[in-house]
Amino acid sequence: MLFGRLLKACLISMLCVGLFTPFVFVQASTYPLQTKYPDIMIYKANTKQKVIALTFDDGPDRRFTPQVLDVLNKHRVKATFFLLGTRVHEYPDVAKRIHNEGHVLGNHTYWHPQLTNSSVNNMLWEIEKNEKEIKSATNFETKLFRAPYGALNDNLVKELGELGYLGVGWSIDTEDWKSLSSKEIKQNILNNVHPGAIILMHSAGHWTQDLSGTAKALDEIIPYLKKQGYEFLTIPEIFKYNMHAPEEMK
């Protein structure tokens, strides 16, 4: 009887350890790659200041990127654009416009592959190929990188560090790529907004994707958040607010 009880208690405690260990781990490090590589990765700035960064992936294009730029200009906000090499090749003038209007450019690979499915060398090729496109279109060299789908692992992050890149994730996903309405996009931001947030949006996509909700949502969300005391920064600017930022960047 006693043995039975002991066995039961033992089983329960094993089960609890099994259940709670991963839970505690997830709680302690919401962004494990940022925790592990604070000089190489950022998903949000660890700050209490009301600073926020808008980021736009997959551009440039002629359909939605100009709309997004017009709204950002209207509200005098600077953002960060993670450009796709194939599209920079196709629309170098739009890439140049983004740069000329004072926004920050980042590298989002050439072909948009899931990098965790291939070798470190493949990531190198993707980065370098896009680096050349961005340089030739804008004469600007970026050291910011965002992986397609945010898919990275230890080896890839270490390589980014070797290359001197800062890997950029996000803490708020607007899911605008699902062709959401401006109302839904706004809600996705407002439900999750926090100091130091990095917001993921898109300024271009597949021809079947309607991103008109993105520009419309921005036009409303920017003045609203400004009224709440938020300041919009680029990724290099918000990185300086991150308590883990290297001293020379502060």
Report the nearest approach of Zn ion to the CB of residue 108 (Å).
6
Distance CA 165, CA 134 (A): 15
Report the nearest approach of Zn ion to the CB of residue 58 (Å).
4
Q: Cβ-closest residue to Zn ion?
A: 57
Distance CA 194, CA 180 (A): 22
Active-site residue identified among 39, 57, 173, 219: 57
Partners of 200 in the beta sheet?
55, 173
- Rg over alpha carbons for the chain, rounded to the nearest Å, is 21
Q: Considering only 31-39, 51-59, 63-71, 130-138, which stretch makes contact with Zn ion by CB under 5 A? A: 51-59
Active-site residue identified among 108, 112, 202, 244: 202
**DSSP label at 237?**
H
Report the nearest approach of Zn ion to the CB of residue 59 (Å).
10
Report the nearest approach of Zn ion to the CB of residue 91 (Å).
16
Q: What would the two tokens of residue 115 be?
A: 């990098």
Is residue 57 a contact point for Zn ion (CB under 5 A)?
A: yes
Q: Considering only 38-46, 50-58, 89-97, 177-185, which stretch makes contact with Zn ion by CB under 5 A? A: 50-58
Q: Which DSSP string corresponds to 20-88? A: HHHHHHHHH-SSHHHHH-TTTEESS---SS-EEEEEEES---SSSHHHHHHHHHHTT---EEEE-HHHH
| Residue placing its CB nearer to Zn ion in the complex, 111 or 224 | 111
User: Are the beta carbons of 222 and 232 closer than 8 angstroms?
Assistant: yes
| Residue placing its CB nearer to Zn ion in the complex, 57 or 133 | 57
Is residue 61 a contact point for Zn ion (CB under 5 A)?
A: no
- Considering only residues 42, 53, 58, 138, which one is a binding residue for Zn ion as defined by CB under 5 A? 58
| Residue placing its CB nearer to Zn ion in the complex, 51 or 204 | 204
Parallel, antiparallel, or unpaired: how do β-strands 51-57 and 80-83 relate? Answer: parallel
Respond yes or no: is residue 57 known to be catalytic. Answer: yes
Report the nearest approach of Zn ion to the CB of residue 170 (Å).
11
Q: Please name the residues in contact with 162: beta carbons below 8 A apart, sequence gap of 6 or more.
A: none
| Residue placing its CB nearer to Zn ion in the complex, 205 or 213 | 205
Respond yes or no: is residue 154 known to be catalytic. Answer: no
Distance CA 231, CA 250 (A): 18
| Contacts to Zn ion from residues 173-212, by CB under 5 A | none
Q: Please name the residues in contact with 190: beta carbons below 8 A apart, sequence gap of 6 or more.
A: 221, 224
- The site string for Zn ion over 113-152 (x = CB under 5 A, - otherwise) reads -----------------------------------x----
Residues that bind Zn ion (CB under 5 A): 57-58, 148
Active site residues: 57, 202
